Amino acid sequence: MYLWEWLAFEGRIGVDDKKPEQSTEEVERAVKGIPMATVKGSLSSTITDNNSLYAYNDTYIDVRTPHDEKRGLITLPLGFGLVLFIVMLAFCLYFFGHAVVTGRAVNGEVETGLDCILLGISVLVPLCSLYVYFKYLFRYLRLEAFTARRLIVRFNRITRKVYLLRPKNIGGIVALDWDKTQAAVDPSMRHEVLPGGGFLILSWDTGAVYDADGKLTDDFDGTFVGRTARNGAELLAFWEYIRRYMEIGPEAAPPPKKLLSKTPWPWLSFEAAWNILPLRGLRESGMWPMFVMVKVMLLPVTLIHATGHWISLLLCYEPKFPPSIENADKWPSPVLPDTSAKLT
């Protein structure tokens, strides 16, 4: 689930470790040619919440990230491997302990000294396997399990900040200046079709990033926001919804008809796995029978994916912002936006 965020964070660390002039040059090369919009100026005459909001009120909106459906496929194989090694260790310890305490095997036969030595060696096999697992593989399992159940991007119009609620291994909790937000969108993308789905990317340069204690850091940051969009027009409309909420107010970006649920219901995992494949083109082009046939053929894979998705949710905890951010009282001199501004 957090693979792209983890890769982005690891890449950012690689840039941070270099000399300042080298870092600046690499960042400039990376963003060169990518159109970036600021919070001023409308890029779309329509708006959509893109079915991406966890919370909505007059103070803030909480938005999901685009990779929530892409989880479970790591949890199943790596999680099975972890359970297998733990079960092997438990059995080996039981047989070894029984032989040492009673002097006999589980089946009643008398154990020799050589038998006890071999049983002791057998304990080392799962122990060494677990050591290798936790040293090299557990970090990948934590991209989906034993971590925060979801990433949340909060847009607070009172403090004029964007808060990122993330685990520490992909950047942690940070606050960013809304007025310095840059969105990777461009009006020319209005007519683009995104068969595999596109998502909104926001970034902040140095001088706009604060840590969880509200201290300015010498760092840059970025995040992916919202559900994947079908086309460029939908992506622009989603960015416009966020921009109007922050720049004008709730009256310019009405609440969604339905907020996303945070309860890990199993049918929501099935829905996520069912909709993950980019088959919208078949469905929307009128080829409905083929769409249904492909979905039915992939149903066993979908069920396996949904099972892994649900297990990964159950193995995670529900994240919460710290009280200072929940109460919006940590950031000095909050400035309310001018609600009399025009929609454009």
Residue 193: CB atoms within 10 A of its CB come to 11
Confidence label for 294 from pLDDT (cuts 50, 70 and 90): confident
Q: Round to the nearest angstrom and report the end-to-end CA distance of the chain.
A: 36
Please, which residues have CB within 8 angstroms of residue 223's CB and are 6 or more apart in sequence?
Answer: 5, 65, 151, 153, 164, 201, 202
Q: Please report, for the chain, the start and end positions of each structural domain, with discontinuous segments joined by +.
A: 1-13+38-71+151-260+330-344, 75-141, 263-317
Q: Among 127, 313, 153, which residue's Cα sits nearest to residue 225?
A: 153
Over its C-alpha atoms, the chain yields an Rg (Å, rounded) of: 25
Question: pTM of the entire structure?
Answer: 0.83
Say what the pLDDT of residue 309 is: 95
Confidence label for 211 from pLDDT (cuts 50, 70 and 90): confident
Please, which residues have CB within 8 angstroms of residue 104's CB and are 6 or more apart in sequence?
Answer: 98, 110, 111
| Residue 17 clears pLDDT 70, i.e. is over it | no
Token pair listed for 341? 């501004």
| Residue 153 clears pLDDT 80, i.e. is over it | yes
At 172, give phi and psi (nearest 5°): 75, -170
Say what the pLDDT of residue 333 is: 42
Which tens digits make up the pLDDT trace of 24-80? Answer: 444 444 444 566 888 888 999 999 999 999 999 999 999 999 988 889 989 999 999
Beta bridge partners of 317: 148
Work out the mean pLDDT of the chain and round it to a whole number. 84
Mean pLDDT of 269-282: 73
Say what the pLDDT of residue 259 is: 96
Which tens digits make up the pLDDT trace of 236-270? Answer: 999 999 999 999 999 999 999 999 999 999 999 99
Distance CA 62, CA 261 (A): 12
Say what the pLDDT of residue 332 is: 46
At 305, give phi and psi (nearest 5°): -60, -45
Which tens digits make up the pLDDT trace of 239-248? Answer: 999 999 999 9
Which tens digits make up the pLDDT trace of 183-203? Answer: 998 888 887 776 556 889 999
Say what the pLDDT of residue 15 is: 56
Say what the pLDDT of residue 210 is: 92
